[in-house]
Amino acid sequence: MTPIIIHEVGPRDGLQVEKQIVPTEEKIKWIEGLIEAGVDAIQLGSFVHPGKVPQMADTDKLFTYFNQPGKKSRPVILSGLVLNEKGLDRGMACGVEQFCMGVSASDTHSRKNTGMGTDEAIPRIIAMARKAFEQNNLVQVSVQSAFGCGYEGIVPEQRVLDIVKRFIDAGLRTVSLADTAGHANPRQVERLFGAILALDPAIDCACHFHDTYGLAMANCYAALKTGVKYFESAVAGLGGCPFTAVAGGNVCTEDLVHLFHLLGRRQDIRLDRLIETAKQVSQFFKRDLPGTIYKTGAIPASRPAELTTTS
């Protein structure tokens, strides 16, 4: 049975689209709640120009804070998104443990997001990933807009697989497919991840789904069945890429964990603490957020004994 790893991206992907700036102290409180809940990794922010994404202006400060002794109540991987070499250098200086970086399979989205076309971005990202890896950092590379693009529409699956092959050939073993535009459907998810695992069964696959069209949870279940290990999600369903045509929130962390609990998986993660944090986020923004379980509560647990394993 493939392990399930929860990678919380709310402090980065969840907040980057929000216009109301969240004070650093408030972010710290939310992150502390997520750590206490028992998620495996938290993406604290992205190393981008604060003029383009003001919400990420305190990313370096957050890493510096949580890398102080005693600031993490339990072990958790602190990850950060980097788009270029300058961001990588900043991340190394403030103690990023896992670097997340990638390229878009859509040339239009790539140019809007990074100012580079896909073909230009691929060798630069591979070089950055190798540099981070050589410094003993964890590295995850991704293909964004892997299931479709809000600007270009259908993205050929072979184009996605060609990018993945270049990552694999470069020795990069943790590969994420990101549904930036929310266009994925479960059959497509099974097909693409199945094709990647057919290239190399030892690859650790990660998934990143947006709920733009209400399919994120179904796509996560399809990914689970296919053998995907890492699931990226955002507390309360926050998020949306500011550089795509129609922004939709991430799959919701507490909703996803609730599903896994019903399947007898990852019962070590505290759903009550996730719900508490989601309520704090909703209260801060003074609006209902896309997540469901923080409003309804969980279905009472009643599972057959054979399904009550954790991984």
Supply the residues annotated as catalytic.
241
Q: Which two tokens stand for residue 69?
A: 């002794």
Q: Which two tokens stand for residue 170?
A: 């470069």
Compute the distance between CA of residue 171 and CA of residue 160 in angstroms, rounded to an integer: 17
Query: What Rg value do the Cα atoms of the chain yield, rounded?
Result: 18
In 3D space, the residue among 153, 150, 156, 176 whose CA is nearest the CA of residue 9 turns out to be 176
Compute the distance between CA of residue 255 and CA of residue 228 in angstroms, rounded to an integer: 18
Q: Under a CB-based contact definition with an 8 Å cutoff, are residues 212 and 202 in contact?
A: no
**CA distance to 235, 256, 298, per residue, from 274 (Å):** 7, 11, 12
Q: Under a CB-based contact definition with an 8 Å cutoff, are residues 174 and 206 in contact?
A: yes
